[in-house]
Amino acid sequence: MASLFAENAYLPMGWASNVRIEWEDSEILRVTPQSAPQPEDSRVETLVPAIPNLHSHAFQRVLAGLAESTQGKEDDFWTWREAMYAVAAWINPERLYTIAIQLYGEMVAAGYNHVAEFHYLHQPHPLEMSLALIQAAKDVGIGLTLLPVLYQQGGFGRQALQGPQKGFFLETDEYLRLIEDLRAPCNQQIRLGWAPHSLRAVDTLTLQAVSASLGPLPCHIHISEQMKEVEQCLASYDHRPVQWLYKHMDVSAKWCLVHATHLVADEIQAITSSGATVALCPTTEANLGDGFFSLEAFQKLNGRWGIGSDSNSSVSPFEELRWLEYGQRLLHRKRNIAAGKHGSSGTRLLNGCWTSASAVLDRKVGRLEVGYQADWLVLDSQNPNLFQHAHLLDALVFNGNRNPVLESWVSGRLVAQKGEANYQDPNAFRQLLHDLRGAL
């Protein structure tokens, strides 16, 4: 058994003083506020839960900055995909491992403890590609929910896959075998879910059949990200995407709807009533011109949401949360949208992340509480953005870009210190970037 004593810690009921935490293996066994330190305790000043990352495409870490110039025509999400496809076609298992080591190290150093990896780079080595991500997560020490993606058509109406999209394809029986093969390496740190890429990428009968086969696993799906997608769904199915999903699928608290940018009132009602979680990725949604999520209306119905780093052009949970709130302020032309009429925006934003993730990651995370994973952040109390701040959670989100994380712990292990992961291979990543620049 191991133990830690924090002068201040953010517990489910709020801030508490002189908190002693005991854990064994990866699980918290006892949390005691107003306690006295013991000789064997590690001693820290300020402790908060680590932050779950609900949506990531690891390989896109190397795409950052490569799709920010125009080529003689208007640029949008659909033209951005061409740059993404070019990078995707270059990735093999060894390169994916190198990218993931770099990315996952950046994540734990920034405050993420667990990542949902939405993984659709399959061919020509489906199992090896997935195992590369698992090995990278194990080496870095981050928690991973691997979400192999089912991607079988290029658009609504059974459009054929084109070019690099063919590398995302698996026959349904191949996909189910891959899921079965990936059960073996799972443990308390490595979890497994499944992910139909989107309604445009999987037909109705296949979606229903696979869902029935994989029932208890978490399910993540891209949905209603772009208005063109909504319009195509209306033309093909006579329903908006979320409307169609709730009419044809048994959506539960194990479902994570990624983006859900363009919702109408009955869709918001359906999501919040089902207990599903929405994964918001504000830096990517801004980069791709997706639009603004209906956060204010969603919160009024006590909807569940969290954040993801998605394309990984930013690997900071605090920047994602700041973008989420600032986007809402620009949209509504008023302040403190997340806080509501009585509250703190920083507290409400962080609590949104901490309370939403366990069901859709299949791992008890986000709380310093008995039975949860021993995942937490030791904050740098000497950081000028945090020093003696009366509203610490607001300062975490809104006070500058300097990394406030002194130590990051996952499964009871120290995995990052002072902005650097304990396991890194920067030379391999630099060589990979050199090779990529020469290939594109």
- Single out the residue in 361, 388, 410 at which a domain terminates: 361
Tokens read off for 169: 């394809």
pLDDT at 333: 96
Q: What is the mean pLDDT of the chain?
A: 96
- Single out the residue in 328, 361, 394 at which a domain terminates: 361
Angstrom CA distances, 148 to 16, 155, 248, stand at 40, 19, 22
pLDDT at 82: 87
Domain identity same for 41 and 56: no
Domain identity same for 43 and 72: no
Q: Is the torsion defined by CA of 63, 69, 75, 79 positive or negative?
A: negative
pLDDT band at 50 (very low <50, low <70, confident <90, very high): very high
pLDDT at 72: 74
Domain identity same for 313 and 402: no
pLDDT at residue 71 is higher than 80: no
| 24 is a domain residue | yes
Query: How many domains is the chain partitioned into structurally?
Result: 2
| CA gap 381, 197 in Å, rounded | 41
CB 256 within 8 A of CB 360: yes
Count of beta carbons in the 10 Å neighbourhood of residue 315 = 24
pLDDT at 405: 97
pLDDT at residue 375 is higher than 80: yes
pLDDT (mean) for 381-410:
94
Per-residue pLDDT tens digits for 253-269:
999 999 999 999 999 99
Range of 311's domain?
A: 51-361
Count of beta carbons in the 10 Å neighbourhood of residue 162 = 10
Per-residue pLDDT tens digits for 138-189:
999 999 999 999 999 999 989 999 998 999 999 999 999 999 999 999 999 9
For the question of whether the overall pTM of this predicted structure is more than 0.85, the answer is yes
Domain identity same for 103 and 195: yes
Per-residue pLDDT tens digits for 77-133:
878 888 899 999 999 999 999 999 999 999 999 999 999 999 999 999 999 999 999
Domain identity same for 57 and 40: no
Domain identity same for 82 and 176: yes
pLDDT (mean) for 320-330:
97
Q: Phi, psi (5° rounding) for residue 341?
A: -75, -25
Domain identity same for 160 and 183: yes
| CA gap 86, 139 in Å, rounded | 28
Domain identity same for 304 and 233: yes
pLDDT (mean) for 225-231:
95
pLDDT at residue 73 is higher than 80: no
Domain identity same for 22 and 159: no
> Domain of 309: which CATH number?
3.20.20.140
Residues marked as catalytic: 259, 310
pLDDT at 78: 78
